[in-house]
Amino acid sequence: MYTLREPIERAERLFGNDEATVFGDRRRTYGEFADRVRRVGGLLESLTEPGNRVALWSLNSDAYLELFFGIPASGRVIVPHNTRWAEPELVYATNDAGVRVLICDRDPGAMSDIVERVIRIDTGEYDELINRADPVPFADDIVPSTLAGLFYTGGTTGTSKGVMLTHQNLTANGIHTQLGQPFVRDDRYLTMAPMFHAAGVYEAVALPMAGATTVIVPGFDAGACLDIVPAEGITCFIAVPTMLAALNEAQAVSPRDVGSLRWISHGASPCALEVLRTSDQLFGCELIHLYGATETAPLATIMRHEETMLSGDRAKSCGVAAPGVTVRIVDGANNELSVGEVGEVAVKGPNVMAGYWNKPEQTAAVLDEHGWYRSGDVGHMDADGYVFLVDRAKDMIVSGGENVYCTEVEDALYTHPGVLEATVFGIPDKKWGELVHAVVVAREGHDVGEAELLEHCRASIAGYKVPKSIDFQTEPLPKSGPGKVLKRLLRAPYWDGHDTAIN
């Protein structure tokens, strides 16, 4: 199995003069890209030791990509920070990971008091340091099991976990991607999903394997991204469902020449069939459904040519296990279930994480001694191995491709002195997949309003986690015998008439 140095060395050797990255007016070959990746090692050599954690908090750029490879290839560990996190969430992840160096494209705020060194991309400091740094050979003591990155799944509380992905995990995902939905040398891939997110870098290792070009935009704007398709001859990209819906709208209003597109993939959260049917009409290329998790680096299943199945029995499927990955449906005792039986989706393969950073109990809860990862998603499988998701076992909402852990939002609500009880769950939304909804019981004598609670939440959690709506009631929340809130009773009216509880 590879480490992250091999894809770069191969691309440099075979495709050294080919275009590797495009970012604005800047274009770099694979030879230039490999040189800069080695200079990242030279820069970090004087600031850190092998194994030290280096955080990256930035919008998409070609610098982001060279750091994504350069930090692990030098023997360090990359810690991507979500650009939508609130400061308490950033501080938590920085402290939890023991970050030594922060590389960012904005004011580091409170993180500057935690780390030993801050390097700014936006001021030109990073480029100046990279240009002065000597390119150093890739670390020769890295093995496939060496930790490459900590990818945090949540926010400020104990629910936030650093997913430990090794060099093997990331390179295995690249190989699985190439086997399941291969890139070719002439491909020009548009990176518009945020690169701190699994969807933004799922293809990062596969592209240099093929010698394909990455065209990177800092952030998503539907019209601007569509303009890039004919300008750069874009052949493929991934979009989370909210992005895909926005692209549909922009293309319908002002059609661009999208004849260069070979395929569009989507993932990160359920996508409405109507959105997919519209994409098929407007773009006329192959649609690919991807399913996975940060813990699986991220691909678990792949549905090729989804556009041919949008009206059939498999319209709700997320595909079959990616090559190199095994997927099964299990019961509570981890026994494999028969075709059609509903249970939890379990995944095994060289792409499955090493565990959660400094959280052995949480690791043991989802990862068994044989390497099976229990996803928390509930589904079933047909006789041909197609997986269908029907519910989510974890107390988690997926809104616009972002994971929102209900306990994080509930904890934020409970810190308000006027809140006696609070529970949070997802409700269906055509645009975002799910919206964060709360039910609150106020303390006697407190006149608490929705606007006040929303503003209170914004001070401690990211905007996408803040409830979009709140119901207030005077009766206690319904509870089971052991005292657990019966969310299903509160949630049921919102999901009435929907095929699944995660759509």
Specify the pLDDT at position 32. 98
Q: Which of 396, 393, 418 is nearest to 405 (CA)?
A: 396
User: SS3 breakdown of the chain: % helix, strand, coil, rounded to 5?
Assistant: 35, 25, 40
pTM exceeds 0.75 for this model = yes
Asked, for residue 152, whether it belongs to a domain, the answer is: no
Please give the average per-residue pLDDT across 330-359, as a whole number. 95
Note the pLDDT of residue 156.
Answer: 40
The answer to whether residue 425 sits within a structural domain is yes
Helix locations, 330-393, DSSP H: 360-366
DSSP label of 111: G
**Statement: residue 501 has pLDDT above 60:** no
Residue 129 forms part of a structural domain: no
- Region of poorest pLDDT, from 143-147, 236-240, 266-270, 294-298: 266-270
pLDDT of residue 282: 98
- Residue 105 to residue 412: CA distance in whole angstroms: 28
In sign, the C-alpha dihedral spanning 210, 215, 219, 220 is negative
For residue 469, is it within any domain?
yes
The CATH number that applies at residue 427 is 3.30.300.30
What is the pLDDT at residue 158? 47
Q: Is residue 311 part of a domain?
A: no
Q: Is residue 217 pLDDT above 90, yes or no?
A: yes
pLDDT of residue 321: 98
DSSP element (H, E) containing 458: helix 450-458
Tens digit of each residue's pLDDT (9 = 90 or more) over 436-450: 999 999 988 888 999
Q: Which amino acid makes up residue 456?
A: H
Give the contacts of 195 (CB within 8 A, at least 6 positions apart).
60, 64, 65, 68, 80, 201
Contact assessment for residue 35 and residue 228, using Cβ atoms and an 8 Å cutoff: no
- How much of the chain, in percent, has pLDDT values that exceed 90? 76
**Averaged pLDDT for residues 286-299:** 96
In a domain, 26, yes or no: no
Lowest mean pLDDT among 69-73, 74-78, 198-202, 448-452: 198-202
- Report the length, in residues, of the chain: 503
**Where are the extended beta strands (E) located within 8-133?**
19-23, 26-29, 53-57, 77-80, 99-104, 117-120
Which band of pLDDT confidence, cut at 50, 70 and 90, is reported for residue 499? Answer: low
Q: Would 459 be classed as within a structural domain? A: yes
Task: Tell me if 457 sits within 8 A of 449, measured CB to CB.
Answer: no
Question: Residues 242-277: pLDDT tens digits?
Answer: 889 889 989 999 999 999 999 999 987 777 788 899
Is residue 438, in this structure, part of any structural domain at all?
yes
Q: How many domains does the chain have?
A: 1
* Cis preceding linkage at 298, omega within 30: yes
How many other C-beta atoms are found inside a 10 Å radius of the C-beta of residue 192? 27
Give the pLDDT of residue 481: 53
| Structural domain harbouring 488 | 396-495
Residue 495 pLDDT greater than 50, yes or no? yes
| pLDDT tops 50 at residue 402 | yes
Helix (H) or strand (E) holding 5: helix 5-15
Cβ contact 147:269 at 8 Å? no
CA 44, CA 111: separation in Å to the nearest integer? 19
Mean per-residue pLDDT for 373-394?
Answer: 89
| Region 403-432 average pLDDT | 87
Mean pLDDT (the chain) is 92
